Amino acid sequence: MLRKRFQSPTTRLITGLAIMLTIVAAFCLYTLSQIAGLRQLQNQTIDRNRKDSLQLLRMQNDLGGLGLAMRDMLNGDEPYPLYAWAAQFERIRKDLDDAIRLEAMLAPMAGDPARKAYFIRSLTQFWTSADRMFNLARQGEEKQARDLVLTSLEAQQATLVSAVSRLLVENNETQQRVAGQVATIYDRVEKQIYAFFVLALVTIATAGLLLIRSNRMVLHRIAHLSEQRSALARRLITMQEEMFRSISRELHDEFGQLLTAIGTMLMRARRHRLPPALSEDLDEIRNTAQEALEKTRSLTQALHPAILDDAGLEEAIGWYLSVFERQTGIHVDLEKSGLSRELGEDRPIHVYRVLQEALNNLARHSRSISAWVRVRFLADRLELEVEDRGVGLDYETKESRGMGMIAMRERAALLSGRIQFLRPEQGGTLVKLDVPLEPGRVLND
């Protein structure tokens, strides 16, 4: 049940990411297809329609040229026969044919083929009438040729101009219709972009909330496990101290007294007249017993210093510093301030162990020849500082994460206090323990 409750959110997050990427990919493909459609619509309709309109204007201009030529022919102001305009008509005819060919290639697919077919038939009839008119003029029948221009060619030319105008109007309508389609596509794409934006926000918000919820569950579990670990560590420390105190008392009360009694009995036996060899053996045994007694007392003090219970923390610190100096050769200056006060039954041993571990780390790692221990009894708390001028402790190394450092942190937490491992500006290491003396007060890091 616990494993199911704290199930990893990785699968759900990957699924959400896959869905989000799929939506983004689908939207990108859709947008690209819409853009391609717009480009095709523009190329095949708008651009071709514009080029087609240019050709229609070219045709309209040629038809206008034919109208001007026929007007000059009918006015009779020029001293030329009618067939003299045949070369101009032929030139306009070639230009019209070229314009019609290009216009047929560029004409929009949406155009009305009936109108274009009607225009081609009308133009063919016009050129047939024009050829007939020039043939009459070449045969000397000027009057009949003029009558043909007046009665037929001008009307056909006007019809052609009207047909081209209708084609131009049709092109303009097609262009307007295509512009409306483009605007519709843009509006649709814009709405879908907004919809995609909202969907993306909802998806991201959902994934974010899921991640936050999962992180909170994981952090809650980590905090719970950390509390359990701290409680276990504190319980182990308490049990350890109780065991050390019990063993120390047993050694002091049982073995210490037994060794003392043995020494006393050996001294009493030595007073009797004994052979020299036996006296030497008794002296050797008594010295061995005395040495064992000293080692027992030393071990008893190491397990749980009796001076801590008898004289208090301040005297125990002074005694331990003198022992530390003899054992390591490191000179330690003790600075005390404030009035010593009763700390309770369990607090002194934890403060003492922090001092002991800090000095042991100093002796092993600092390579310093001197150290400073400061004890301050304030109104509401006790401050303990251990400082050296050695190489300093690298808090990223294994030493900084060893059991001794962990034990010091746990003891500080057990005292509801705070411990800091600092680097003074002068170099070295500063271990600072701050312990509240008021009941119920907790110092936070």
Distance CA 319, CA 363 (A): 17
DSSP H/E element including 421? strand 418-422
From residue 18, alpha-carbon distances to 13, 209, 286 in Å are 9, 17, 84
The model's pTM is 0.51
Unique residue bearing structure tokens 């808090």: 395
Confidence at residue 407, expressed as pLDDT on a 0 to 100 scale: 82
Confidence at residue 270, expressed as pLDDT on a 0 to 100 scale: 64
Confidence label for 301 from pLDDT (cuts 50, 70 and 90)? low
Give the contacts of 123 (CB within 8 A, at least 6 positions apart). 96, 100, 160
30-41: burial string, b at 16+ Cβ within 10 Å, e else: eeeeeeeebeee
Of the ranges 274-288, 300-314, 423-437, the best mean pLDDT one: 423-437
Confidence label for 3 from pLDDT (cuts 50, 70 and 90)? very low
Are 227 and 36 in contact, with CB atoms under 8 Å apart?
no
The predicted model gives 281-286 an average pLDDT of 74
107-137: burial string, b at 16+ Cβ within 10 Å, e else: bbeebeeeebeebeeebeebeebbeebbebb
Are 119 and 167 in contact, with CB atoms under 8 Å apart?
yes
Confidence at residue 374, expressed as pLDDT on a 0 to 100 scale: 93
Distance CA 276, CA 135 (A): 174
- 103 burial (CB, 10 Å; 0-12 / 13-18 / 19+) is buried
The predicted model gives 209-217 an average pLDDT of 80
DSSP H/E element including 21? helix 10-41
For residue 388, which phi and psi values (nearest 5 degrees)?
-140, 175
Q: Is 80 left (phi over 0), alpha (psi -120 to 50) or beta?
A: beta
* DSSP secondary structure code for residue 252 in this structure: I
Length of the chain: 445
Give the contacts of 5 (CB within 8 A, at least 6 positions apart). 217
> Which tens digit of pLDDT belongs to each residue from 129-176?
889 988 988 888 888 888 888 888 888 888 988 988 888 888 788 778
Distance CA 189, CA 31 (A): 7
Instruction: Tell me the two tokens of residue 52.
Output: 């087609």
Cα dihedral 292/297/299/301 (nearest 10): -170
Mean pLDDT score of the chain, rounded to an integer?
A: 79
Distance CA 318, CA 312 (A): 10
Mean pLDDT lowest among 8-17, 112-121, 329-338: 8-17
Unique residue bearing structure tokens 């190489």: 391
For residue 200, which of 9, 13, 10, 17 has the smallest C-alpha distance? 17
Confidence label for 2 from pLDDT (cuts 50, 70 and 90)? very low
- Compute and round to an integer the Cα radius of gyration of the chain: 56
Are 385 and 431 in contact, with CB atoms under 8 Å apart?
yes
Confidence at residue 387, expressed as pLDDT on a 0 to 100 scale: 92
Confidence at residue 273, expressed as pLDDT on a 0 to 100 scale: 65
Helices within 304-344 (DSSP H only): 306-310, 313-328
Strands (E), 123-259: none
